[in-house]
Copies of this chain bind each other. A is one copy, B any other.
């Protein structure tokens, strides 16, 4: 039986601000009530309120300006990536689950991509360009960055923004696995990306799916 403890005021407040943003359909730049107003609304001290807003601000979700007030931001994936990459040792995720999740997510969007590729030729050019850049990568950092960019572009090409956001998050946890790729494996990665785009362009979703699955699962052996 777990100890019953008072929930932290700041956590409840952060959660309520989240709900307020969603309910009011607020977007980046929209004004929020002032710290004094929010504190009065929640019946707490302004400093406790600030603990919640500073937490949200750390991720870019809320922005504050002295003398002006609070506004809605947008979660800043770059900032998040930076903070989390700094603490790779604290990232807690099961490698097999990451691989399986990525396979489900990325193969799941392939039918959408193939359909949209027919309507919008810039999708194929974009992906092919990324493959060529990937082929030219000369250091691990660039190679990783271009690998991430390709996979993100796949998700983006689906037009499904929720999956793009989640894919970004999966990549943060996946980062350290990429760092163990040997240079000898870079070429195989490039050829995989190439084949995936080829199959998609020909409308062969099942072949693209098999190739993408193989590509993502290729990390498996190295992580055992």
Binding site for B on A (CB under 8 A): 10, 14, 18, 21-22, 27-28, 47, 50-52, 54-61, 72-77, 80-81, 83-94, 97-98, 100-101, 103-105, 107-109, 112, 159-166, 169-170, 172-173
Contacts and interface: CB of A to CB of B under 8 A. Distances in A.
Contacts of A72: 90
A162 B51 contact: no
- For this chain, the copies found in one complex come to 2
Contacts of A56: 58, 86
Contacts of A84: 59, 75, 80, 165-166, 169
Contacts of A51: 50-51, 54
A105 B90 CA distance: 16
A181 to B, nearest CB: 20
Contacts of A47: 47
A89 B165 contact: yes
A55 to B, nearest CB: 4
A18 B87 contact: yes
A81 B160 contact: no
B86 A75 contact: yes
Given A51-B54, A59-B80, 9 more contacts: A18-B87, A59-B86, A60-B90, A84-B166, A90-B161, A97-B159, A101-B162, A104-B108, A108-B108
Contact of A90 (B28, B83, B109): B28
Contacts of A80: 59, 80, 84, 169, 172
